[in-house]
Structure 1
Amino acid sequence: MTEVFINGLGLIGSSLARAIKQKNPEIKIIAADLNQDALEYALQQKIIDKAADSLTAAQTADFVILATPVNEIINSLQQLSKLPLKKGMIITDVGSTKQQIVAAAAVLPAQVTFISGHPMAGSHKTGVTAGRADLFENAFYFIVAPAVPPEMIIRLQDLLQQLHVKWLQLTPEQHDRLVGQISHLPHIIAAALVNQTQRAFEDSPLGMRMAAGGFKSITRIAAADPTMWSAILHTNAAIIAEQLQDYQNELVKVRRAILIDDQSALYHFFATAKVSRDQLGPEKIGGLPGFYDLFVNIPDKVGSLAKVTQILAAAKINLINLHILEIREEIDGVLQLTFMKETDRTTAAKILNEQHYQVISRK
């Protein structure tokens, strides 16, 4: 019987456990987590077969998955190196940075194989109860495994086959620079904008209450777990600092153009961004998949929102988020519906059109 040990039953760890069980219920899953409630929930829901109180329980596993914050992953690798681990064991992680993790894995004994991984998927929800077997569907799953035999990578991919991801191999340096620019830097920008806006409206509480639409969309990721993100910045500091400086240089140029009213420079700034932004998306350049949004006009009437959600629920369409972008008295509002899959968005658009809702196009 294949045995899998998972350290950390948050959103990612519990989703991996669900997907593994869905593919092969006979696989035995043992898990450890500092949150006892998370372990009890996972046992009750049959997400795992057994709870453990330490990494010691991992020594007989065929696969070990480290699904904690990056600094804890590094500590776990050090602890595992001191245990009599099963020969042929594959150890992997789901950390958001790779250079320090891969370096830390050098202490592992020769009889085990370390394959670092990073699924590019997530949710605005956290914890074991938010986990889903289809969380990673159609997402990129980065593999960082210098000098690892291909057959070992295939073993890990077979275990995680139910994820239905797109596998992509990178070096540790390539990974950290890529995610630094497209994930880490945007999180810093979003958090900084929220903090700056909060300070700007300290004497005007109405300001934050009115922040909606574009502001909420651009700052959505600022709601991420601060423990996880402080750890990420700690382990990718040099790259993020360099990218942050480049971004600050862009802001300095824009500020200068505003002060001297350089309309040509400002037009070029926005036009260049628009051209690049219009090229994003899998239909253009195979961009990283993520959330799929649908925008629908709804009348400003009691029950309008509930009716839309009831229609989607009846069609068994999984809606992961929604919010109203625009509402004005006596005119339609714009409802933003967010889905994990492109097929869900397409089906929802068809059904809502059939119900005489106006689906509008936005980029």
Structure 2
Amino acid sequence: MTTNVSIIGLGLIGGSLALALKRNPEIVITGFDRSYKSADEAYRRGIIDSVAPSVKAAAKEADYLIFAVPVAATAQLLHEAVLWDMKPSVIVTDTGSTKQPIMSAAKGLISKGITFIGGHPMAGSHKSGISAAIEHLFENAYYVLTPPESCPPDDLERLTSLLTVTQGKLAVLDASEHDRMTAVVSHFPHIIASSLVNLLASQEQRQPFVRRLAAGGFRDLTRIASADPVMWRDITVQNKEELIGQLDRWLSEMQTVREMLKNNDPGSIQQFFDEAKQFRDHLPSVTQNEVQGALYMQFDLHIDVPDHPGVISEITRILAEKEISLTNIRIVETRTDVYGILVISFRSPVERNQAAQVLEQETEYSMQIL
């Protein structure tokens, strides 16, 4: 017996979710995207089985309806969905990174008797769009579900069973709890990273050389500031109350740090760094068998190589022969707080660990996973 899944929005997340779900041969996927080009590519690549002519048409025959569009667009569609013709047994879900606005928008649908369960797969990529869709995007990443209190337990079990094939780590949270925690570990760090970059930019005119010095640890520290500005504008607007609360706590912490510097007590300063180091060192690391956190990250391998012609081509040749894909490679000139001269980035810890093993076997270079 086939299961009909309709996915609205065929970008990185929607396309990758379709590929993952198609691991189950009993699932038939209908897709819709406002961009005909994206929908056509998804169909030609076999990511979806058919293209729906409209959102309503996609929803009509769905056993599961998944909104994989930005939160604001999902909220609008949920308001409109109250008037759509859908199966009484359909389960509607989404992939948005803030949940309270979504759960609020779904109230009309829920009151109609349709099951809605919020969803947030905490995975991403340095690329976007249907062309970047990959089957294993959600593997070992948290996939959070936020059911309303009225959600029938059997429906939550049905959705959980459907998503198991993604190999994500499914977790159930309250929507407000989800938004509070993602504000701490994902949304607020993006604001801080962007503010650090803007601070650097404001000083570059007076100190042009500062841009070059930022090529090492500063660049890695602020990597997330390169994320899509439109997406992060929407996230900031949608989760503003939690972010304001985090900003207030941050300002209080910075005031404490300011007083510590004014007092110039070496003991207090060392304790400040020591406490941060101890907590940071005990945070979960991401290895082949561990779970990714809320922030999208590339997985870096730092290699201490000699600076001579041919060394980069040697390493890329070895990785290519072993069919290990990399997402970025760069030479680090400012290495005060990073290890090694060469940094290679991978899209998963599995590929990074494979690369480290291969390079250790075939070269004499020392390397470190950070």
Q: Return the TM-score normalized by structure 1.
A: 0.90
Task: Report deviation, 1:209.
Answer: 4.2
The Cα shift of 1:204 comes to 4.6
Q: Deviations over 1:171-218 (max 9, x none)?
A: 111111110100001011111111111111134544324421111111
CA distance in 1, matches of 2:44, 2:30: 14
- 256, 279, 283: which one aligns with 1:280: 283
Displacement of 1:108 in angstroms is: 0.4
Alignment CA distance shift 1:152-1:354 (3 Å)? same
The reply on whether 1:258 has 2:255 as its aligned counterpart is no
Corresponding residue of 1:199 = 202
Partners of 1:102 and 1:113 in 2: CA distance: 11
In structure 1, what is the equivalent of residue 98 of structure 2? 97
User: How big is the alpha-carbon RMSD for the aligned residues of Structure 1 and Structure 2?
Assistant: 2.4
Identify unmatched segments of 5+ residues in structure 1. Answer: none
Query: What whole-Å deviation, never above 9, does each CA across 1:234-274 have from its counterpart, x for those lacking one?
Result: 22111111011111222222233334423222212211110
Residue by residue over 1:134-161, the C-alpha shift from the partner in whole angstroms, topping out at 9 and shown as x without a partner, is 0111111111113323322232233223
2:271 matched to 1:271? Answer: no
State the SS of the aligned residue for 1:3: strand
- Number of residue pairs matched? 358
Distance (whole Å) between structure 2 residues aligned to residue 36 and residue 204 of structure 1: 48
Aligned match of 1:152: 155
Q: 1:283 to 1:136 in 2, by over 3 A?
A: closer
Q: Is the 8 A contact 2:138 2:166 kept in 1?
A: yes
Distance in 2 (alpha carbons) for counterparts of 1:96 and 1:357? 43
Alpha-carbon contact 2:139-2:168 (below 8 Å) kept:
yes
In the TM superposition, residue 341 of structure 1 has moved relative to its aligned partner by 3.6
Moved over 6 A (4+): none
The match for 1:361 is: 368
CA distance, structure 2, for counterparts of residue 179 and residue 326 of structure 1:
33
Residues 175-194 of structure 1: matches in 2 within 5 Å? 175-194=178-197
Which sits farther off after the overlay, 186-195 or 144-153?
A: 144-153
Kindly report which structure 2 residues correspond to 1:302-313, keeping only aligned pairs within 5 A, or say none. 302-313=309-320
Q: Is the 8 A contact 1:137 1:341 kept in 2?
A: no
Q: Which residue of 2 aligns with 1:117?
A: 119
In 2 relative to 1, CA 287–43 (structure 1 residues): closer, same or farther, beyond 3 Å? closer
2:69 equivalent in structure 1: 68
128 and 218 in structure 1: CA distance in 2 versus 1, 3 angstrom threshold: same
Q: Which moved more, 1:65-74 or 1:31-40?
A: 31-40
- Cα deviation for residue 233 of structure 1 reads 1.4
Conserved 8 A contact 2:81-2:109: yes
Q: Quick one: which amino acid aligns to residue 27 of structure 1?
A: I
CA contact (8 A) 2:216 2:334 kept: no
Partner amino acid, structure 1, of 2:55: L
Return the alpha-carbon distance in structure 2 between the equivalents of residues 333 and 179 of structure 1: 32
**Aligned-partner SS, 1:23:** coil
Match among 135, 138, 143 for residue 136 of structure 1? 138
Give the Å deviation of 1:62: 1.2
Distance in 2 between residues matched to 1:155 and 1:191, nearest whole Å: 40
> Deviation of residue 117 (structure 1)?
0.9
Q: Percent identity?
A: 39
Alpha-carbon distance in 2 for matches of 1:321, 1:145:
38
Task: Note closer, same or farther for the CA distance 1:177–1:123 as it changes in structure 2 (3 Å cut).
Answer: same
Q: Structure 2: 5+ residue runs without aligned partners?
A: none
Q: Which amino acid aligns with 1:243?
A: Q
The answer (yes or no) to whether the contact 2:4–2:64 under 8 Å persists in 1 is: yes
- Whichever residue aligns with residue 292 of structure 1, its letter is F
Residue number in structure 1 paired with 2:324? 317
Distance change in 2, residues 1:300/1:79 (3 Å): same
**1:362–1:252: structure 2 CA closer, same or farther, 3 Å change rule?**
farther
- Say which SS state the counterpart of residue 22 (structure 1) adopts: coil
CA distance in 2, matches of 1:205, 1:353: 39
How far the C-alpha of 1:282 sits from its partner, in A, is 4.5
Correspondence for 1:35: 35
